[in-house]
Amino acid sequence: MNSIIEFIQNVFSGIQSKMLVILGEAWIANVISLIMGILGTLAFFMQIPKKIKPVVIQYGDIIFKVEEKNSHGRHWITLTGIELYLSVSNIKNAVGIMEDIFVRIYTTDSYNPETVIYYITKKTIDGIEDDFTPFILSPNSNISMKAFFGQVEQRRSEKIISLDRNYTVDIYYKIKDIKKPFSLKSIITFNNSKIDNNQLILKNLSMNIERDKYYKVLKKIYRSTYKGITNFHFTNLIQNIRYYFLYKPKQFFIGFFETLLFILKYIITNIIALFITRKIILKEGRKIRQPKITFGNKEHRLLMEKTMKNISKCIEKLIEGLNNGIKDENKIVFSLQGNGFNLTRFGKVIQTYAPGDSSIYAQVLDNENTINIHYQIKESRWGIKYWSYNNKFITPYNMAINILNYFALYTIVKR
């Protein structure tokens, strides 16, 4: 027992002697001072205001304010405004200004649909209704409001809606001095098809809404100053070395591999389209409907004309296969329209055209614009022109396949 006590005493004496060497005779007081200094530093940084990131949550059902219209034998319903409930909480030690809130509306089952944006015009807090104006978000604050969105995006008309389609609502909010707006998760709704008192109530199928993500903060700015002519000289020398031996070779190899990737993508996407997608389209796509084409932009005139011819030729061949062995009323009708073409089936029309801005569009001619496909000419670092779809490389054959793929589903034969 005594030996254990002596061992512990020796260890403690050794630690104490080392602490004396490192921190001096008053080492205990120095350690306490060090800990207090660290805690004080942490407390200081915790008091520094943080960037504001309020939590915005939508709850309850969504009310569409609608107006039924009749003209020249036509009947349609326009969306004059949207009413929904929002909770805005600021849980950070920060102060900010809620500058704007807006929503985007589109049909849930559409492919790349036409969207319309509505901006907030009125808010109701604690039963008091008022016009919307930017409001301050103080630390640990919470505001619950009924928001009404009645102002349509500039240069756009009110959205035409249907009673037999469901809608998705995207909510965005803008904080002052932050460039990009924040977005919430999309709200999926169910349409009960009943208009009461010029109101269409849509059931919210996606409660527990949370923020989808924040946009990246701005890049930090690093400042540096030259300390004398020597540093200035060597800094310039290093920059020149980096430019000639790092940056220029890097740009060359990036361009080389980028071009190689284009070639591989061209080969692979055409193989997939020829041996996989085409067979599926020919088998299942006998229940389809199709697009239209035009020409534009002088700079890309040759590429545009060549692409249009390829798409037209490809689609005509596919239509021939789709129409083979089916009744006349179920066949797809191909018709030239100006410098483009229309595809018609069951009274529905899809047109493909080039408006002259280095783009090709394929759109269904209906109020909702349920199919809206956009192809665009782009150039690589080496000046190679190529077609892009959703910022991805695409070949003319795949452009035709893509149009038929979605239009086939749109005009599928109901059994």
What whole-number distance in Å separates Cα of residue 171 and Cα of residue 344?
36
pLDDT at residue 43, as a whole number: 65
Q: Evaluate whether 109 touches 364 at the Cβ level (below 8 Å).
A: no
**215 φ, ψ (degrees, to nearest 5):** -75, 155
Residues 6+ apart with CB under 8 A from 96: 52, 54, 90, 136, 137, 175, 176, 177
**Which among 102, 234, 109, 244 has a CA at the least distance from the CA of 173?**
102
Nearest to 117 by CA among 109, 100, 105: 105
* pTM of the predicted structure, to 2 decimals: 0.47
- Strand ranges, E, within 319-371: 333-337, 340-345, 348-353, 359-364
CA 43: distance to chain centroid? 39
The distance of Cα 318 from the centroid of its chain, to the nearest Å, equals 33
Q: Which pLDDT tens digits describe the chain residue by residue (415 residues)? A: 556 656 565 655 666 565 555 555 555 666 677 777 777 776 665 555 567 778 888 888 888 998 888 877 788 888 899 999 998 888 777 788 888 999 998 888 777 777 889 999 999 888 888 888 888 888 888 888 899 998 887 656 788 888 888 888 899 999 888 888 888 878 878 888 788 888 888 888 775 444 445 555 556 655 555 556 666 667 777 887 878 777 888 888 888 888 888 888 888 888 888 888 877 777 776 655 555 554 445 667 778 878 888 888 888 888 888 888 888 888 888 877 777 778 888 878 888 888 776 788 888 877 666 778 888 888 888 878 888 988 888 888 888 888 887 777 777 654 4
User: Which residues does residue 12 pair with via DSSP β-bridges, in sequence order?
Assistant: none
**Tokens, residue 353:** 């055209």
Q: Are 149 and 69 in contact (CB under 8 A)?
A: no
3-state secondary structure of 208: coil
Question: Of the candidates 27, 21, 3, which has an alpha carbon nearest to the alpha carbon of residue 11?
Answer: 3
Distance CA 352, CA 362 (A): 4
Q: Long-range contacts: 30-35, Cβ < 8 Å, 24+?
A: none
* Paired tokens of 296: 């534009």
d(CA 377, CA 372): 17
Q: How far apart are CA 214 and CA 105, in angstroms?
A: 21
pLDDT given at position 211:
44
Longest dimension (CA), the chain: 110
Nearest-CA neighbor of 63 among 197, 206, 200, 166? 200
Opening angle at CA 185, ends 112 and 134, nearest 5: 105
Q: How many CB atoms lie within 10 A of CB 296?
A: 18
Q: What are phi and psi of 365, to 5 degrees?
A: -85, 80
Q: Count, in order, helices (H) and strands (E) of the chain.
A: 7, 20
For residue 223, which phi and psi values (nearest 5 degrees)? Answer: -105, 145
Rg (CA), the chain: 32
Helix H or strand E segment including 34:
helix 27-47
CB contact burial 30-55 (16+ within 10 A = b; e otherwise): eeeeeeeeeeeeeeeeeeeeeebbbe
**Distances from the Cα of 2 to the Cα of 5, 11, 15, angstroms:** 5, 14, 20
